[in-house]
Structure 1
Amino acid sequence: MDLAVKILYMLSLLGVGLGARHLGVLTEERADYLTSFAFYVALPALVFDSTASTPLSDVLSVAMVASFLVVLLGVAGVGWLVHQRVPTRAERSVAIVQSYHTNFGFLGLPIVAMTLGSVATAKASILLGIGALIQIPLTIVLLTSMNDADASLRDELEGVARNPVIAALLLGLGFAAFSLPVPAAANTVLDGVSVFALPAALLSVGASLTLSLDDVDVSTVGSVVVLKVLLMPLLGLAALSVLTSDAVTVQAGAVMLAMPTAVSTFIYANELGGDARLASTNVFVTTVCSLGVVFVLLNVLA
């Protein structure tokens, strides 16, 4: 499938999810079922399928992990500095968090799988696991400390530990490390289920998108977009190109870092004293903009 067609396909799925919610076809309950299927079934299947069948030496490297961490934490630091001008703590905390907190799972990994192949998908699965372990605790700490909100970091970390995607990643890496074969029947089932990761995730994300610019500082939204979907992938591209000569690693890492702000940041903001309206707007705008950036990146890196 041509790259432009793939991007249009992704935009169409987002649009279908958005339209289905507004028409009442994809109700909140049905959207929750779809999200649960993507999170507990399709994405873990994709993660395990990609990592278990690929030699560990082909997908895991210190340079890839180091580059990824430098960019993720670096953009968080830049966001902290840039957004100090935002007047209220509720808005400022959301702007900082949404400048780095990336949708690696519901968009990043499925898009890499659709566009870059199995080895890149295995690399992206590892980056997804690392990203979850770093950005979720960081987001909780920032939102709670800046908004004087109550939240148990221990509970959140336990939630990360119970994440089915991370469990699937560890299991897949174990199979790869010990060269354990995946039974043919299981492999067939995993292949069949993982195909639904992208459509299920995109429909779910589309159903969660809302845009309301009333009482939202457009300049703050613009700065979040610049940091999240422009600066982050550019820094990732530079860091990965310098630290590793592997083209697939550069492609997978840059595309993952070009993903939009995660939908979960809206939930965190809503629960931990952040500005929910700003959070919702940022998720919407970065999601739309990121697909254009991904299209350019994939054309440049092809």
Structure 2
Amino acid sequence: MEVVGRLVALLVVLVGGAGVRAIGVLDDRRTALLNDLAYYVALPALIFVSTFDRSIAALLSPALLGGLLLVVFGTAGVAWVVHWHRDSSARRSVAIVQSYHSNLGYLGLPLVAATFDPTVTAIASVVLGVVSLTQVPLTVVILSSLNAAGATVTGELRRLATNPVLVTLLAGLTIGSLGLGVPSPVAVGLDAVGSLALPVALLCVGASLDIDRSSIDAATTAAVVACKVVVMPALAWLVFSALAVDTATFIASVVMLGTPTAVSTFVFASELGGDPEFASLNVFVTTLSSIATLFVLITLVG
């Protein structure tokens, strides 16, 4: 029942974000400020307190790295086959990338931190870093190549190098690996700030959703949902079961890879020649669908 309560609360805050945007409480400027709070403050704080007392060797194993790469590229391959027949390249490219590009930072890591113990959260932080460094360049390549867009992988990698989430992850793992301490008051303060990550991020996701009836393509969206919140976590379950990783690694990997499509795919679609309205719809539907699928995943692994 505790898991049900957490996911119902997630849904309430998500819908609440859309509601306060609809009545004008969260306009574009306020939503942007709230998004900055989550992205530059709350989420980095959560990542740092999850990793600063742990060494990278204890968290990132060859099995974890290989398993994550296999699941991401495997799901992308399935999505390519499923969506390749779509007539519109703009819609086809979006459907492919949204079938594997996971919302690890705004939903995955905060949900894991709120549900499981610190060991699982620390590994989930590493999952976030590894998969982000994989899925962002892959998404840029697919959108750019299918839509003849001008963005480069090099440019996106340069942006990743200054990404606050990845910088904080590297800082936390460095301090943990070197055995350096962090004053207790600082750790407690950062922990309090990090607890804001999930509710603030959910408000941002809800406020960012923009559904245009003309963009509805039920069959394609259903295929995106099936790939993202059913096929990808199922593949993760099979891969990490076969790799016989420890329980914490298994839980962190399966739950993180079972998260819905990232809101950032809407931004990538807008910038790289994709169909932004279709992208927004898929973010909304995969997020709502993940309430049920994440409940099943968390119940099974927990």
- Report the TM-score range of the alignment, normalised by the length of the smaller protein: over 0.9
Name the structure 2 match of 1:149. 149
**Structure 2 counterparts to residues 161-176 of structure 1, below 5 A:** 161-176=161-176
**Structure 2 counterparts to residues 50-69 of structure 1, below 5 A:** 50-69=50-69
Name the structure 2 match of 1:243. 243
CA 1:215 to 1:283, structure 2 compared with 1: closer, same or farther past 3 Å? closer
Q: Which runs of 5+ in 1 are unaligned?
A: none
Name the structure 1 match of 2:188. 188
Asked whether the equivalents of residues 54 and 177 of structure 2 are also in contact (C-alpha less than 8 Å), the reply is no
**Structure 2 counterparts to residues 149-298 of structure 1, below 5 A:** 149-298=149-298
Q: 2 CA distance for matches of 1:133 and 1:266?
A: 18
Name the structure 2 match of 1:126. 126
Deviation at 1:64, TM superposition (A): 1.4
One-letter amino acid of the counterpart of residue 299, structure 2:
N
Deviation at 1:272, TM superposition (A): 1.1
Deviations 1:168-207 (A, max 9, x none): 1111111111111111121121111101011111111111
Q: 1 CA distance for matches of 2:78 and 2:15?
A: 32
One-letter amino acid of the counterpart of residue 94, structure 1:
V
Q: 1 CA distance for matches of 2:99 and 2:245?
A: 28
Q: 1 CA distance for matches of 2:244 and 2:211?
A: 39
Q: Which SS does the other structure have where 1:100 is aligned? A: coil
Deviation at 1:16, TM superposition (A): 1.1
One-letter amino acid of the counterpart of residue 156, structure 1:
E
Q: 2 CA distance for matches of 1:17 and 1:105?
A: 18
**Structure 2 counterparts to residues 63-142 of structure 1, below 5 A:** 63-142=63-142
Q: Which runs of 5+ in 2 are unaligned?
A: none
Q: 1 CA distance for matches of 2:216 and 2:25?
A: 29
Q: 2 CA distance for matches of 1:281 and 1:135?
A: 20
Deviations 1:111-142 (A, max 9, x none): 11011121111111111111111111111111
Deviation at 1:277, TM superposition (A): 1.4
Q: 1 CA distance for matches of 2:197 and 2:121?
A: 12
One-letter amino acid of the counterpart of residue 66, structure 2:
A
One-letter amino acid of the counterpart of residue 73, structure 1:
F
One-letter amino acid of the counterpart of residue 106, structure 2:
F
Name the structure 1 match of 2:44. 44
Q: 1 CA distance for matches of 2:7 and 2:22?
A: 23
Name the structure 1 match of 2:33. 33
Matched length: 302
Higher mean C-alpha deviation, range 169-178 or range 238-247 = 238-247
Q: Which SS does the other structure have where 1:249 is aligned? A: helix
Deviation at 1:222, TM superposition (A): 0.6
Deviation at 1:208, TM superposition (A): 0.7
Asked whether the equivalents of residues 58 and 119 of structure 1 are also in contact (C-alpha less than 8 Å), the reply is no
- Aligned residues with identical type, % of pairs: 46
Name the structure 2 match of 1:6. 6
CA 1:144 to 1:253, structure 2 compared with 1: closer, same or farther past 3 Å? same
